[in-house]
């Protein structure tokens, strides 16, 4: 017979404090009896403000002093459980794998990261936007510096985790090697380090951290509606979105972003230096596997090429890569759309390009670029000299956030993959930036069939 579980909705003012989490804390994970309970039989489904055992660390989002702003604490280990000031879990979409690792006894639920030698390889900020509660609402501007700015709290045993990491790397791409061989990029030993086209870059990874009042304002909804929708349409994953209005921080289980910097990172915040930017949304089929139905990998490569050139000319290049696969609709939806396009009566036409997506997903795009500029403000960017993008939504979001863009650059025609003209013409017709006009009759732009290898 299975163990009986006590399901408890903690009531406001109850005298019963929260239980520390795992009952196997401190036990060796390897070799442990798999039948040994990880938790007690009592399940706390949610908490409420003011109940016994709930004492969140104050959070003053947007304060320029990190000590006054306060650390973000989402950990549920015993030393931090009662101090949590955030809903959600660290790791973004990977938080689910962490839970799985605990369930199969590969990870101690009370494990705390050893942050020795993990500090960023370059200094980022602080910048003025870090002290503005409305400029950055989707990431923690101090997320890379917790080891230093919250050293006191860490020493006290509070589990505060970085949400940003910054390192260095060599990047090798066959297209960049080809650009070097053709003389379009030169070897300088610093950025393009050799004849194989290896690039020296500074790169960073950012996990999402949402300040809910700021997110609601950014998207022009009230905070209560935002919280309710996040609760309802994730199957009730985080009840504290509803029961804990005092917790203003949410760590959502979604993908984050990466940055790749070519040239000195400090130039990003120096308006006297030229900056070339490519903001790119994930496309696994093209970026990784080279699918020719869209322009994603060629445009990404072009952004890298132009960023390298700007860096070699004394400026800096930046690639921001968001995990928003399939316009944030997901890869399954994207492939369903591909099938609908290729099987459509009359063929795969630019006229029906967005309609096919709306028929399946109900919306043509869920990337919603309103929070995209946050990372640019975090980096201290004041202007963009050259933006490698056709997207009007990205342009409007960046300029609307107060960062001017001096030049927009579409993908060169010679870089278009064989089956991507449907996408390009549909986007130009809908308002995307281009040097060219879309055909008046979008029905004339047709993609190839699956079996048409000579298209």
Give me the active site residues, please.
365, 367
CA angle (381, 386, 388) in 5-degree steps: 110
Cα–Cα distance for residue pair 420/371, rounded to 1 Å = 28
Angle between helices 296-312 and 174-181 (to 10 degrees): 50
Could you count the other beta carbons within 10 Å of the beta carbon of residue 395? 19
Given a contact cutoff of 8 angstroms between Cβ atoms, the answer to whether 252 and 207 are in contact is: no
Given a contact cutoff of 8 angstroms between Cβ atoms, the answer to whether 139 and 375 are in contact is: yes
Residue written as token pair 């990205």: 394
- Three-state SS for 96? helix
Residue written as token pair 């960046």: 398
| Closest to 243 in 3D by CA, of 90, 83, 95, 44 | 44
Residue written as token pair 């299975």: 2
How much helix, strand and coil, in percent to the nearest 5, is found in the chain?
30, 15, 55
| Closest to 290 in 3D by CA, of 418, 447, 445, 199 | 418
Token pair recorded at residue 159? 């589990």
| Closest to 410 in 3D by CA, of 369, 382, 438, 383 | 438
Cα–Cα distance for residue pair 246/240, rounded to 1 Å = 10
Cα–Cα distance for residue pair 189/417, rounded to 1 Å = 32
Given a contact cutoff of 8 angstroms between Cβ atoms, the answer to whether 329 and 361 are in contact is: yes
Could you count the other beta carbons within 10 Å of the beta carbon of residue 451? 7
Given a contact cutoff of 8 angstroms between Cβ atoms, the answer to whether 57 and 71 are in contact is: yes
- Three-state SS for 305? helix
Tell me whether residue 301 is exposed, middle or buried, using C-beta atoms within 10 angstroms of its C-beta: 0 to 12, 13 to 18, 19 or more.
Answer: buried
């Amino acid at each position: 017979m299975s163990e009986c579980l006590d399901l408890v909705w903690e009531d406001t003012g109850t005298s019963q404090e929260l239980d520390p989490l795992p009952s196997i804390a401190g036990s060796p994970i390897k070799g442990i009896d798999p039948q040994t309970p990880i938790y007690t039989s009592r399940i706390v489904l949610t908490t409420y403000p003011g109940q016994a055992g709930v004492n969140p660390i104050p959070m003053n989002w947007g304060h320029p002093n990190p000590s006054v702003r306060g650390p973000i604490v989402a950990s549920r280990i015993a030393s931090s459980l009662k101090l949590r000031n955030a809903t959600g879990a660290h790791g973004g979409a990977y938080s689910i794998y962490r839970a799985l690792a605990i369930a199969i006894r590969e990870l101690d639920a009370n494990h705390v990261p050893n942050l020795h030698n993990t500090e960023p390889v370059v200094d980022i900020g602080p910048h003025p936007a870090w002290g503005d509660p409305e400029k950055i609402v989707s990431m923690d501007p101090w997320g890379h510096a917790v080891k230093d700015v919250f050293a006191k709290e860490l020493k006290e045993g509070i589990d505060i985790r970085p949400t940003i990491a910054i390192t260095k790397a060599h990047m090798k791409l066959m297209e960049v090697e080809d650009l070097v061989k053709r003389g379009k990029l030169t070897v300088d030993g610093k950025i393009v380090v050799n004849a194989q086209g290896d690039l020296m870059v500074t790169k960073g990874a950012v996990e999402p951290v949402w300040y809910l009042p700021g997110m609601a304002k950014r998207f022009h909804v009230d905070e209560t509606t935002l919280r309710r929708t996040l609760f309802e349409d994730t199957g009730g994953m985080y009840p504290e979105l509803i029961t804990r209005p005092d917790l203003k921080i949410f760590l959502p289980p979604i993908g984050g972003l990466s940055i790749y910097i070519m040239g000195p990172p400090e130039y990003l915040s120096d308006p006297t230096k030229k900056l070339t930017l490519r903001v790119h949304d994930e496309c696994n089929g093209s970026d990784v596997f080279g699918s020719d139905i869209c322009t994603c990998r060629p445009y990404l490569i072009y952004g890298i090429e132009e960023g390298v050139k700007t860096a070699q000319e004394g400026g800096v290049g930046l690639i921001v890569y968001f995990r928003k696969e399939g316009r944030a609709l997901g890869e399954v939806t994207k492939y369903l759309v591909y099938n609908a396009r290729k099987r459509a009566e009359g063929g795969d036409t630019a006229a029906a390009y967005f309609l096919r997506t709306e028929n399946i997903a109900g919306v043509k795009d869920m990337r919603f670029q309103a929070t995209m500029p946050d990372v640019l403000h975090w980096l201290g960017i004041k202007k963009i000299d050259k933006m490698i993008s056709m997207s009007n939504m990205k342009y409007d979001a960046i300029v609307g956030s107060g960062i001017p863009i001096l030049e927009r650059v579409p993908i060169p025609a010679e870089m278009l993959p064989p089956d991507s003209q449907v996408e390009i013409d549909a986007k130009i017709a809908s308002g995307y930036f281009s040097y060219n006009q879309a055909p008046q009759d979008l029905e004339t732009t047709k993609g190839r069939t699956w079996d048409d290898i000579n298209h």
